[in-house]
Amino acid sequence: MEAIHILSALGGVTLATIGGLMIITNPGQNDYENYATEALTFYLKDEVCPQAPSELGGFLISYCKTLVDTGRPQIQKVISNKTIRQNYLLFSIYETELSLPSPVPSYQFGTIGALRQFYTYEAQEYKAHEF
């Protein structure tokens, strides 16, 4: 009987410790904005820049990555303005809706933040006229 009480107490302490660790390591809004800005700029450089129209003599293709880097503060501001955070103490859910100018598609993202990490579970592309 004594062993059961010890195991029960040990289990309670373990759960409390894990819960406390999760609360402490629940990433905040600024952490998410940095994560999302990094992910979006990587996507723009890797996927969108190579597809830039060449009507301007290749100007966009040549300078696209530089333009993305230059616009990084504005990208972060858009993410900040278009993100809703639901804080559940142990973890947070971030929902971001990005409506970007053509040729970049618009997206809805769902991301969970926990233990100082982010896990994007939804990235849905849509056309602006779908809403």
Residue of 113 and 100 predicted with greater confidence: 113
Q: Which two tokens stand for residue 16?
A: 């409390």
Whether residue 101 has pLDDT greater than 80:
no
**What is residue 55's three-state secondary structure?**
coil
The tally of domains found in the chain comes to 1
What range defines the domain where residue 56 resides? 2-130
Q: What confidence tens digit (pLDDT) does each residue in 4-57 have? A: 767 666 666 676 676 677 678 899 999 999 999 999 899 888 888 887 777 666
Query: Please, where are the H alpha helices in 1-131?
Result: 2-24, 29-43, 59-70, 72-81
The pLDDT, as a whole number, for residue 131 is: 46
* Model confidence pLDDT, tens digit, residues 68-85: 999 999 999 999 999 999
Instruction: Label each residue of 41-59 as H, E or C.
Output: HHHHHHHHHHHCCCCCCCH
Q: Within a 10 A sphere around the Cβ of 78, how many other Cβ atoms?
A: 19
